[in-house]
Structure 1
Amino acid sequence: MSSITKFTNCHLIDNGKLYQNTDLYVDNKTQKIIHKPLNFNNIDNIKIIDLKGEILAPGFIDIQNNGIYGLNFSNLNTNSTDEDIKEFKLFYKDAMKKYLSTGVTSLCPTVTSNFSDVYLKVLPIYKRSRLNNQCDSLGAHLEGPFINKQKKGCHPVETFVDANPTIVKPEDKLLEIYGGEKNLLENVCIITAAPEIPGVLELIPFITQNTNCVYAIGHTMTDYNTGLKAINNGCTMITHLYNAMPQPHHRDAGVIGLINTPNVSEKNLPYFGLICDGVHVNPSMINLAYKSNPEKCVLVTDAMHLIGLPDGSYKWDDQIIVKTGDKLYLKDTTTLAGASTTLPQCIRNLMKWSNITLPEAVKTCTNNAAKSIGLEKEKGFLNVGCDADFVVLDHNGYVTRVFKLGNEFKSSDINEDIEYQIETEKSNNKHNNSSRISAVL
């Protein structure tokens, strides 16, 4: 029996453009986008979803996210029992369902610098999924431990390692830390490492060719020329631009200068993650990076597990994180400890700070995000053959509904101005009705 869903009375966002009054069709069996049927008489069942003039866009993709709704993606260790792992999996499933409500339909669970036993236990949980009731994992993002102590951020230095080729075969060290080639092939999407760490430059071709992972520069003190060598070896991404790296100088561009360097072809310029929360990066520097190369800009949340939790102090391993609104700092320091701003809010920030349209901003965490990890034929686009993962947006960029492989979920992205107006109108109507009743009596 053939069955399709037709999204109608809507506008579509894709490729940085708004396609007005355009319908979209989904095969309910494959849960993928299809062409408009040539003959509707051959369709057994047609479900019509009227979006009443709102906007349909691909589901958002978050390629760097450390934790959500109280769940730390790195929170298993040597002492974790089978029961601990079972509970962690249940917690993970619940958190991924909740995160779907923000409009993110797939993400790369990010595991910060850790010991090898942690990777052995957590990575299998993040194997790529295709589910219709929760946010999907696209494979883990391994941020460390091959990173520079001078740009450690909140990563624990006792976990840091190198792959010095004079001591060990670099790929052997990589596999030892991350739990073997199978663990990387099946469960990992991105590896962030500093190219100046001994052995890392030599490892880039192995990472990109043998494990099919994306290699990203991050938490680094590397200079511009070493960055170019990394790109020539296969680097295609920079992790959270500006953060945990030397800042550019007009005679020493550093890592940041790689995003539009004339020494690399336009095609090979690296994608760069950008935390657009107004805390990690000043809005003017957000605008500078975006305008430099909008085709390679990927908005990320870099969210910590405290996203969605109330303000306060929270223990994180042997450290304390203080949450105040969207700001997260290590206690009694000025060290940022990740973020707690949602991806749709980052989109709205980018629209404001770079004076761009909603379609242009949405492109950064749909089209660009999918292309940065090689999934553009499956995710992040409204092309035929892509998964039916969608967000419905109002014209201010707020998520009003979420669809995961065709199943609808309620949004948690609230436009407080609209909510205030609605409550005010309800209150006024109640007052007016009471006045009318009093008058009649």
Structure 2
Amino acid sequence: MMIFNLPPILGLTPLIVYIILAFRPKIHPLVNVSICLAIGAVLTKTNLLEFGAVLTTSLGSFLGQVGFIIMIGSGLGLILKESGVAENLVHLMVRKIGINSIGRAIIASMLASMFMVLVLSTLTGGNAVIAPILIPLVASVGMTPSTLAIIMQTAGVTGLFISPFSPPMVTIMEVTGLAYQQVLLYASLPVCIPMWLITYFNAKRVQKATAGVSDYPEGTALSVNAYKASPEAKRATLFFGVAMALIVGYGIMFKLGVAHAITVITVAVLATGFGARFKIDKTIDLFMKGCAQYFWIFMLFILMDPFLNFISKSGAFDALVEIGAPLVESGGKVGLSMLASLIGTFGIQGAAVAQAVMLNTVFRPLVDATGLSMHVWAIVILIGSQMTSFAYPGLDMVAATGTARSSDMKSQVKHGWMVTAAVLAVCFVMSILFG
């Protein structure tokens, strides 16, 4: 299928170009994938007139569905923010914990970040919502921006790992065929537990090192008791909480798939808007405004599907399996797990869901050939697609640092390396035990 009868292995050219361009900070991901899509089309002799049909098919693909979920999740996030639900939830949580020491402030910050990311299914968006609320509260006990920054990235991202309808979880369930409970037990919790422990103890260490050196400006501190939710915010919070509990519980009970995530978000939007007594026009306007912020993600995933299909069409993945077979035979299941984890973490960079699908596409033939357990493959995909932002100072790390109003990238990078090393060690152990 390759132009000029080129060797199939050269069909990996778009993937290699994608990886190279992904490490160039000034190139937008949409530009990157568009360039690689064009290269793939040329290599596979795809007529330009066929592009309309290719993109139409992509709209109904799994990647297209996940991109749509991310986009409408952003719409829900704006409604939660404007209705006061997000602020009320954070204050309820930190009031229950009682922020009167650094230890409690760390726990409160971890829970608030994790919970809001879980609810909104976006790391940057979730932290952006809680930052104006959380910063004055933790500043009251002397927490520094450096400490809060590592909490926001690490504890926040675990919210994505335990949410039954977050894009990473939906992706892993889809490609492995495992139920939510299985992914949670064999992938999410084994990764989250060391991340929580490292974050708590390293946050204390960073706090000790930066206290009095890089504190929040004077006047930032604010007592949690100064907040009082409006009746509309309280009612909207109640409606949102009840709706989420019922609809999410229903999805878990009947093992519903990716489509149920769309139902969850739709019901939450309607329940929150009704509880806040928004007019239907206002609810729709807020929802669409929120969606617009992540429309580019939706387009990215629409283009990513044919990009990967062109590589598959070229025969490159089959050729890669032939080359990698001897290496896998010598390393076995453990070797394959660690190789895929390392390549995903250090070699593939981009949107995390796209990374997960790419990792599965590249290595799945070898996984099937070796009989690697789907339980282990789930944790490999989770690590390979999500740890890149800890191994390198990428967008998520920079965003968390800025959201916490910190400029201490050194502490952030060190923390990221600690987390990456720990979860790779967990992957090694899980491969031995369950491979």
TM-score (norm: length of structure 2): 0.23
Richer in strand (by share): 1
TM-score (norm: length of structure 1): 0.23
